[in-house]
Structures are given as C-alpha cells and as structure tokens.
Structure 1
Amino acid sequence: MAEHHLPPEPVDHHHHKGGKRGVHADDLSPAGGYGWWRGRPRYSYYYGGGGGPLRALCFAILVLLLAAGITLLVLYVVYRPSHPTFAVTSGAVLALYNATPATANAPAALAASFQFTLVLRNPSGRSAARYDRLAAYVAYRGEPVTAPAPMPPLAQDAGAAVEVAPVLGAGVAAPVPVAPGTAAAMATDVAYGVLPLLVVLLGRVRFVSGPFHRGWHSLYARCDLLLAVRKIGNAGDAAQQAPLLGEPNCNVDM
C-alpha cells in the first residue's frame, strides 16, 4: 500500500518551543503597534522652562539674606562691648562707732562713714559707656552699714577708665540698724586690726558703638576687701586712713 504524507504544518513565527512568544522586528517597528511593550502604559516627560525667573528671584533673595546675616555677624563681633571692670584702690574711715543707745533692749546700730576711691574701666576698644542712676554703699557681714549714696551720671570713652571718690555714709554718719551681734563682731575685727567690708555699686549702663546704641543694662558691681583699721572711735573723732590689705576681689554683673 502506498504511503501518504501530509503537508507540513506552517511554522508559527510568533512562538518558540514550549509555546513562548518570540520578539520580531515587526513588533518593534512603528507599524507593529505597541510591540513587545504592548499593554504597558506609555510615559511622557515635559521639560518646561516656565519657573526660571521665579527661581532666579528666590535665589537672589536668599543670597541677599545670607549677605546681610554675615554682615550683621561681623558687626556684632567687631563692636561687641565687654563688661566694665570695677576696682577699689584706696580707702579712709571718716567715722566708725557703736551708736547703740544705752537703754536696755534698744536695737543695735552702727554709725559708719567711709571714703573709697572707685575705678570703673571700660575694656571695649570700640564702644563708649554711659552710666546712670549710680549709687554705692558699704556692707559688713551681709548687712548695709551705710545708706546708699547717689552718684552723678558718668560718660566713658572706649578703653578709658573713670575714677571717683564718693563719701559713703554722708560724712556725718547716720546710725544704721544692724543685727544684735553685728556691732560686737565689728569691735572684735577692729581689735585685730582687720575689717572685712563689701563695697557695692548699683546702677545701669549702656554702650554706644558708632551708629549703634544699645539698651540700658542693670549694673551690680561689688568688691570684697580687707581694711586696716586701728580702732572704733566715737562721734567727732578725726578720720583715719585705712590701707587696703591685699588685692580686693571685685566682680561686675550685668
């Protein structure tokens, strides 16, 4: 019997073995539609130049702000004032005596009057200083022994020092009430010839740096010192010089 052969099946150009679909040039051509990315979304990008002037304006403003900040920082560093310094260079006792009345149970009181040379120095090289509402007093063992003495306003150039010698206690000392043991403690210290005192200066200060005028700042200056005193006298006794022992410890707070 003669064998009959069927004609070969047409080759499917769109599939490989195993049923996988191949990629052909027609699929990649414009005529082939989407090609191998058929079914995937197409993306388009737009590079516009409409924001250029706005970005340039923002950049210019940022540069101006940065330059202004740097300028202010440089001016602050150059003209920044330093705290003034305070010193006591000499002292004298004009009056110092126990003013407690002889009556029983009377409050203790001290009558004291001093004259100190006070030096205020402005260490700032570019800032002048102005002082106002100044007052000074003397304290012993934490208690004032003189009433606050007002002082006139002071003006001070950059890097300059101002020296004043106020009388603290009004010359003719007015009795100041103190704690019961304070008068006895002062008599003991004077008997040893060394009297520890605190000189306090209060007020306010402002600095002027060229065109810049700063606001007022509270000033609190104090000096702890040791005074060489010979005796506690009586009313009407002559003043006595009182040398400073050692270097006074002075501080300024603002």
Structure 2
Amino acid sequence: MGGLRSLVFAILVLLLIIGIIWLVLYIVYRPSDPTLAVTSAAVLALYNATPTTATTTTTSGSGPTLLAASFQFTLVLRNPSARSTVRYDRLTAYAAYRGEPLTPPATLPPLTQDAGTAVFVSPVLGGGGAVPVSNDAAAALAADVGYGVVPMRVVLLGRVKFLSGPFHGRWHSLYGRCDMLVGVRNNQQGGGGVAQAPLLGNPVCDVDT
C-alpha cells in the first residue's frame, strides 16, 4: 500500500513539473498579435462612372451608383513578438467608405515575418472596374470630396499562424482595419478624378486574430 502511494505521489510530482515547464515555455514563447499601420495613401481615381443614360434612374433611388475608384496605400505589418515567427496567407485588402466597399478585394502574396520585424506592402486597390454603392453613400462621398477630406477604411483579411519555439499554432482568421482621413483635391487634368493628397492625422488601426 505504501509503495502504491509513493508511485501516485511520484506521478503527481512529475505531472506538476511538466505543467510548470509547459507554463514557463508558454509565457516565454507566447506570441503577440501583429499590428497594422498605414503610412501613406494615394487616390489614383475616384469618380462617378454611372452611364449617363442611367442618371435619372439611379438618382431616383431605384438603382445603385457606380463608382470607379483606385487607391494605393502603404501598409505596415509589425510582429511585436520577440520569439515568434508569423505566417500570413490568403491575404486580401479593399477600401471602404461608410461601411460600403469602394474597391473589390485585391489579393496579396503570402508573407513570413520573423520576430520583431516589420513588413511593408503597397497594394493598388481598385482600378479594375466600377463598383456599385448606394446613392446615399455616393452623395456623401461627393460632398466629402468637394470639402477635400474623405473618411476611409482599409480592410485586410486573411489568416495567420504563429510559430513560437516548440509551439506551432494552427491557422487563425485575421481581420485588420485602419480608419483614416484622406485629404483630396479636384484633379483638373483627369476627367473628374482626384489627385494624390496626404493622410490627415494618425490612422487608427486594429487587428483581430
């Protein structure tokens, strides 16, 4: 009976030691979520592309407005973890205004990011055709362009995996978004488009994994 108790006690001590080791390794190698930032923006095109013959129909509210939009943003993905490598896959990005997409999703290449490093990507969003938006959003966007300041959001979707020493995590969904104010001015040379202008203030970005 005493031998059985000693064996059980030894097993419990061993399990406790294994648990402590696992906890220490987890604390040391625990990854941090990547961060996202926008450092520059360019408005390459932004104008109403609704056919003239459909103007009466769309303004009456029975159909959407077609917008031709093209932007280029410099996005910075940072890996704040000191010991974790991050892999990104199935990345897409698009620009939105008032919750409505202004561009179709653009595919970005897969990325691998070492611990404590930053990756810069500058995708061109849009430019492949007009996108339908509600008439209310189109009218508000036209007013903001006329005022010279457009509130926009860049959305980054995909999946992410963390490689931390002995821990190889599974794929997690990635949802990043940056809200910003983009300064625009009328482009007198380009058929109703707008020219490049700076970011106003600091974009606010969040990442969920």
Paired residue for 1:163?
Answer: 120
* Counterpart residue type for residue 88 of structure 2: Y
Flag structure 2 segments of 5+ consecutive residues without an equivalent: 59-63
Q: Would the aligned equivalents of 1:190 and 1:232 in 2 still touch at CA under 8 Å? A: no
RMSD over equivalenced CA pairs, Å: 1.7
User: Partners in 2 of 1:233 and 1:95 — Cα distance?
Assistant: 12
Q: Given the two structures, how large is their TM-score scaled by the length of structure 1? A: 0.76
User: Are the aligned partners of 1:116 and 1:167 in contact in 2 as well (CA < 8 Å)?
Assistant: yes
User: What secondary structure sits across from 2:57 in the alignment?
Assistant: coil
Runs of 4+ off more than 2 Å: 231-240
Could you say which residue in structure 2 is the equivalent of 1:244?
199
Partners of 1:233 and 1:79 lie apart in 2 by 55
Asked if the contact 1:95/1:173 (under 8 Å) is kept, the reply is: no
Aligned-residue sequence identity (percent) comes to 67
SS of match in other structure, 1:60: helix
CA distance in 1, matches of 2:26, 2:165: 12
What's the offset of the Cα at 1:242? 2.0
**Secondary structure of residue in 2 paired with 1:105:** helix
In structure 1, stretches of 5+ residues that fail to align are 1-50
Contact 1:95/1:233 (CA < 8 Å) preserved in 2?
A: no
Aligned residue in 2 for 1:13? none
Matched, 1:225 2:180: yes
CA contact (8 A) 2:46 2:194 kept: no
Tell me the SS of whatever aligns to 2:72.
strand
Instruction: Please state if 1:202 is matched with 2:157.
Output: yes
Q: Does 1:187 align with 2:187?
A: no
Q: Equivalent residue of 1:113, what SS? A: strand
Tell me the alpha carbon deviations over residues 87-141 of structure 1, each in whole angstroms, 9 at most, x when there is no partner: 0000101111011222231431111000000000000000010000000000001
Compared with structure 1, are the counterparts of its residues 159 and 88 closer, same or farther at alpha carbon in structure 2 (3 Å cutoff)?
same
2:103 is equivalent to residue 146 of structure 1: yes
If each structure's strand is expressed as a fraction of its own residues, which one has the higher value? 2
Secondary structure, counterpart of 2:186 in structure 1? coil
Shifted more, 235-244 versus 214-223: the winner is 235-244
Letter in 1 for 2:136: G
Q: Deviations over 1:2-61 (max 9, x none)?
A: xxxxxxxxxxxxxxxxxxxxxxxxxxxxxxxxxxxxxxxxxxxxxxxxx11111101100
Quote the Cα distance in structure 1 between the aligned partners of 2:24 and 2:18. 10
Q: Which amino acid aligns with 1:100?
A: T
Q: Distance in 2 between matches of 1:233 and 1:186?
A: 18
> Structure 1 residue aligned with 2:69, among 112, 115, 128?
112
Q: The residue matched to 1:197 in structure 2 has which SS?
A: strand
- 2:81 partner amino acid: S
Name the CA shift for 1:236/1:132 in 2 (closer, same or farther; >3 Å).
Answer: farther
